[in-house]
Amino acid sequence: MLVCPKCGAAIGENDVYCAGCGTMLHRVCSHCHALMPLTAKFCSNCGTKFEEAKENHVFSIPLPIEKNGFMIDGRDQQKYKMVKIGNQIWLAENFRFKSTDSFVYGNNEDMAEKYGRLYTWDSARIVAPPGWHLATRRDFNELGRFCKSLGQGMVGTMLKSKDAEWKTNGIFGPGTPGSDAVGFAAMPYGVRTSAGVFSYLGSFAYFWCADEENMGRAYYRHLSYFTGAYQECSSKKECAFSVRLVKNQ
């Protein structure tokens, strides 16, 4: 039986959080130390076969440090700007913790600092440090409602960064500049498709939601260079999108 390393409560193999104390749970590869879901039988990073699940395969994640408007991830010491938008606290940057099934555009690691990483849905849903979570549909809906209440234009325009990386012209016509009205600073990082192809850098931003549509698909939010729309769509879970975290309330 698996038990939480923090409070000792029984946990199931499909649990991401301990129901007793809320600790986020992972298995850790003994060979390459990559983080895996508790259900993993093999390490998808190096191929190591896991033994039958035991207590010492379950690890809690170090607590992040929050100081002077920044969150520092205790696992890799990466530093992220935080922003308060309405009643929510978001990371104002794409997440960039290097986990299994995460990628950088074009496999160019130099892009991670500015743009973050692209995660498959299964990776995105377990990558957050304690006290934070992958944004849900409800979180994105609340963000949209708050932006609308300010009456400063279309929600997508308000969320897009002012960065010159957003195209000013493209296949769909002239671009709509971002105003970054609430400090969300969305970047046009594009996507890694389920076939492993990187596309749409400079044109579109894709953000996973924690909610799945069905066994093979999950929801995401979409921003584009040529419009101020703020759209919800769904995609194959094997696609890799950007991740924004929200602080637990």
Domain ranges in the chain are: 1-60, 64-249
Q: Checking DSSP bridges between strand 58-60 and strand 245-247, what pairing results, if any?
A: unpaired
C-alpha–C-alpha distance, residues 217 and 2, integer Å: 29
Query: What confidence tens digit (pLDDT) does each residue in 60-99 have?
Result: 567 899 999 999 998 889 999 999 999 999 999 999 999 8
Predicted TM-score of the model (pTM):
0.80
Contacts of 170 (CB under 8 A, 6+ apart): 203, 225, 226
Q: Is 53 helix (H, G, I), strand (E, B) or coil?
A: coil
Query: What confidence tens digit (pLDDT) does each residue in 187-238 have?
Result: 999 999 999 999 999 999 999 999 999 999 999 999 999 999 999 999 999 9
Dihedral (Cα; 23, 75, 57, 240), 10-degree rounding: 90
Q: What pLDDT does 61 receive?
A: 67
Q: What pLDDT does 234 receive?
A: 98
Query: What confidence tens digit (pLDDT) does each residue in 112-171 have?
Result: 999 999 999 999 998 998 889 999 999 999 999 999 999 999 999 999 999 889 999 988
Share of the chain above pLDDT 70, in %: 82
C-alpha–C-alpha distance, residues 82 and 158, integer Å: 17
Query: What confidence tens digit (pLDDT) does each residue in 3-29 have?
Result: 676 666 777 766 766 766 666 667 666
Buried b (16+ CB within 10 A) or exposed e, 208-237: bbbbeeeeebbbbbbbbbbebebeeeebeb
